[in-house]
Amino acid sequence: MSAVRVISVNSELGAGTRGSGLGFDAIRVAAWTKGSRYFKNHPPTIIPSNNDEVLDDIETAYAVKIHYIVEMYKRIAETVVDTLKAGNFPILISGDHSNAGGTIAGLRMAYPEEKLGVIWIDAHADIHSPYTTPSGNLHGMPLAASTGLDNKVCQINQPEENTIAAWEELKNIGGIQPKVGFKDLIFIAVRDLEKAERFILKQNKVKNYTVQKMRETGTSFVVEDALKRLEHCDRIYVSFDVDSMDANISRGTGTPVKSGLYESEAFQLMSAFAKHPKVCCMELTEINPTLDNKKNLMAEIALEILEKVTLEIENRL
């Protein structure tokens, strides 16, 4: 790979709270305020969104805005493929976490014969489907789409036919399903789970490094152990939701959860993963400046993560 390419995906259609589509702009403001030339040195690729469609009537209650999100997945996937084919390293800054499903689709489309590992740093597992979702919001479903799992054993909803058709299309983007196996998936800091999600993690023996456990063993152990568990994978994608951090820090996000990562822990994890030669793509998501009661702190932290991982990646390219 020759260079880092920043990709902005400001779609927030998968979230239940408005404002995460402004996350990228908030990070740019943080850079200007700091005097950072980051975006001057890394001019972003902007993927157009359909955010105005939040005003449309909800026709798919158990997968809100899914038809528009299918289109976003396709745009994201194509951009990721083009970035990788050009020999560059994609770093995505996305509105809500539903967009990560498009990123994963793009990675598999670019490397269809290779096994992809996923490190998901988040307060939530994001592995609901239209059959199990309590909210209908797609930012709780990207890993279900990527693993191809409906989890009908835990079904509580009866999705409409148009919802099911769109969900099947979402899962099949790129013509590969499943895109990620459960042995190829690692969670870090996940701590807010519904019953259906707990069932999946237990049934499939998915590793979750809790914040408490990480503090007992240290971040270095977590990084080394996670990478060892994924050593059978050809490439690794790291997705960082800012709500993985403690709620006292992450006020500028839609779903803050207490007992999360400290800033220093987030920096250590992301910097360490960025150094690894198999890591081929990273994503920062769910920064919502409209909810930040600490001025622009969430975006400032995201900028620092962005600068740190970019430095580590460029040092090895």
How many CA atoms within 13 Å lie on the side-chain side of 151? 29
Number of domains in the chain: 1
Mean pLDDT of the chain: 97
Residue predicted with more confidence, 296 or 2 = 296
Q: Quote the CA–CA distance of 218 and 214 in Å, as a whole number.
A: 5
Instruction: Give the pLDDT confidence of 144-178 residue by residue, as tens digits.
Output: 999 999 999 999 999 999 999 999 999 999 999 99
Give pTM, 2 decimals: 0.97
Q: Quote the CA–CA distance of 247 and 224 in Å, as a whole number.
A: 26
Q: What's residue 311's pLDDT?
A: 98
Instruction: Give the pLDDT confidence of 276-306 residue by residue, as tens digits.
Output: 999 999 999 999 999 998 889 999 999 999 9
Instruction: Give the pLDDT confidence of 46-101 residue by residue, as tens digits.
Output: 999 999 988 887 789 999 999 999 999 999 999 999 999 999 999 999 999 999 99
Q: What's residue 55's pLDDT?
A: 82
Is residue 139 within 8 A of residue 15, CB to CB? The reply is yes
DSSP 8-state class, residue 290: G
Mean pLDDT (whole number) for 13-42: 97
Is residue 277 within 8 A of residue 99, CB to CB? The reply is no
Q: What's residue 209's pLDDT?
A: 99
Share of the chain above pLDDT 90, in %: 93
Q: What's residue 57's pLDDT?
A: 78
CATH number for position 226: 3.40.800.10
Say if residue 40 is exposed, middle or buried (CB neighbours under 10 Å; 0-12, 13-18, 19+). Answer: exposed
Give the domain range for residue 203: 4-316
pLDDT band, very low/low/confident/very high, at 270 (cuts 50, 70, 90)? very high
Instruction: Give the pLDDT confidence of 193-251 residue by residue, as tens digits.
Output: 999 999 999 999 999 999 999 999 999 999 999 999 999 999 999 999 999 999 988 88
Q: What's residue 132's pLDDT?
A: 99
